[in-house]
Structure 1
């Protein structure tokens, strides 16, 4: 009887094993140094290209971080964001959630350097992730160990962008809910919003806090400064009308963002709401007090974001040109 029982347990384990392997396959296909044999210099090539582009166009570093967020939060980290509108594909870049995004053309610069070294080997999805990693370092942020092995999608998801990417005036609870749906907890979400420490915001996304009346949660002096940057309640979206996210360290990814929030100098509604919601305010205070803590939580959250539902194995392709799916 005992022998029969052991036989049944063994049979059950063998039946269960394929299911377990299937469940963990996507995660296990991502690994550190995925290109160690197929393209040993891949990560160094990306790093050097990111540095060159940063030295020539400093704002590219911010673009790489934003690309990671906009790509990975929509369905998967699969470079669908990079696809241009062609027959059968509508680019995610057409969404109003992509307003102000730029420097996509320089992704081709990075991809061309990789293709010259290792043709059809390194995915555009991994370029999105690794360029963000290297851009974060150039912005004074933490060095993040990031797995690779992603494949590229064969389609875009324009129709899903609005439901996937939070808007600047969404409630903090809806933002937390969205991030939790992809495995990022509250303190990770608060840390990711710290990316607003760098870059700038167009007046189109600011004027509702200034006109017809000033948002009472804004510091009055700061509100006057913003009115100087955005003098009209109806700014031209094509005009150069911006305010820096952080006036003191505008191109450094640091905890000045959280210090500003505590002074009622949050630029966007979603920023300032972090201090008024009890589920997030404690983390704001901790990150404002400790830049190392902010960096640790930011690094952890970026890894979780970068590993959201990747395409691996035969699920996608390696695009030759990140702007277009491969022709059959």
Structure 2
């Protein structure tokens, strides 16, 4: 009898642990969250997103990064969408977000959703869905988006500046940044692969070219030929010149990892992937076409993981009527 009670107690404790893990990982999100309240949601979002991407495919990278920039600050709560007010500088105003584009896409998708399902779908969920659809529409990977997030009501520029991973981070700083929001080292190297699409600006690389350690030097990890190329494109203080992230910035592929392996990663944070055994191994595994499928699969998994960061569910937060303003 005593043994039976002991085993029952152990079972109940294990069950409690599993429940806690489920809550901490899933956090109340469900791919079928709007099945009854807005059953046509995914079609509406994809159709509205496609109208923009078909005309301007270059919007896909910033829409993907918008989701990333949202989730790393206060969790995936749509706070990156809020406008500044007379008394508060919102996340949009932070330097890392000043080059974000595509807010008009989110507004248009929200408007289309509101016409069919008023007051039901959060802006945070729309950001997550649009990021997936934008990537898929340019023939990138697809994944099931967990839904049920609610919108936050706070957005502070200084938090974005302090919490977003910086292109100037080394591998130790990057790992700490991702770990702070519950993401793994593998998530770090996989999500870095999102740099396979889109462009950046000289402001993100100039320190590597002209003042790497504060002594007017260059980053020794850069391939010399690539360094010379970047110096021809960027001049000290240049904040406007556009740079490609890899050799095929319009195509979602594994070329990013080839670029990094050749010491031609644009950012210090890209080059840092060669400074850790786990991240370097992943880079090396994706140097041939055979690695495309595994990268696509991994990217979907890591995007789901990222989409769970600090979400507001249940009665927390709100469902904004307009994404740029609290109700």
TM-score over 0.5 for the alignment? yes
Alignment of 1:67-216 (within 5 A): 67-87=66-86, 89-211=88-210, 212-216=216-220
Question: Is 1:227 matched with 2:231?
Answer: yes
Deviation at 1:162, TM superposition (A): 2.8
CA contact (8 A) 1:176 1:186 kept: yes
CA contact (8 A) 1:54 1:60 kept: yes
> Over residues 49-105 of structure 1, what are the superposed CA-to-partner deviations in whole Å (9 max), with x where a residue is unaligned?
111111122222111110111011112110011000125543101111213112212
CA contact (8 A) 2:25 2:308 kept: no
SS in 1 for 2:67: helix
Question: Is 1:315 matched with 2:319?
Answer: no
Question: Is 1:293 matched with 2:294?
Answer: yes
SS in 2 for 1:152: coil
The residue that corresponds to 1:242 in the other structure is 242
> Over residues 105-139 of structure 1, what are the superposed CA-to-partner deviations in whole Å (9 max), with x where a residue is unaligned?
22111111111111111110001100011112123
Q: Which moved more, 1:165-174 or 1:87-96?
A: 87-96
Q: Which moved more, 1:191-200 or 1:152-161?
A: 152-161
> Over residues 9-62 of structure 1, what are the superposed CA-to-partner deviations in whole Å (9 max), with x where a residue is unaligned?
79x969x97x95798288352111211111111111111111111112222211
Which ranges in structure 1 are unaligned for 5 or more consecutive residues?
Answer: none
Judged with a 3 Å threshold, the aligned counterparts in structure 2 of structure 1 residues 321 and 203 are, in CA distance, closer, same or farther, namely same
The residue that corresponds to 1:31 in the other structure is 30
SS in 2 for 1:243: strand
TM-score calculated relative to the size of structure 2: 0.88
Judged with a 3 Å threshold, the aligned counterparts in structure 2 of structure 1 residues 74 and 56 are, in CA distance, closer, same or farther, namely same
Alignment of 1:34-45 (within 5 A): 34-45=33-44
Question: Is 1:65 matched with 2:64?
Answer: yes
Q: What is the alpha-carbon root mean square deviation over aligned residues?
A: 2.6
CA contact (8 A) 1:74 1:157 kept: no
CA contact (8 A) 2:81 2:103 kept: yes
| Equivalences, count | 316
Q: Partners in 1 of 2:21 and 2:173 — Cα distance?
A: 32
Question: Is 1:280 matched with 2:279?
Answer: yes
Judged with a 3 Å threshold, the aligned counterparts in structure 2 of structure 1 residues 95 and 32 are, in CA distance, closer, same or farther, namely same
Question: Is 1:324 matched with 2:325?
Answer: yes
Q: Partners in 2 of 1:29 and 1:278 — Cα distance?
A: 34
Judged with a 3 Å threshold, the aligned counterparts in structure 2 of structure 1 residues 31 and 216 are, in CA distance, closer, same or farther, namely same
SS in 1 for 2:243: strand
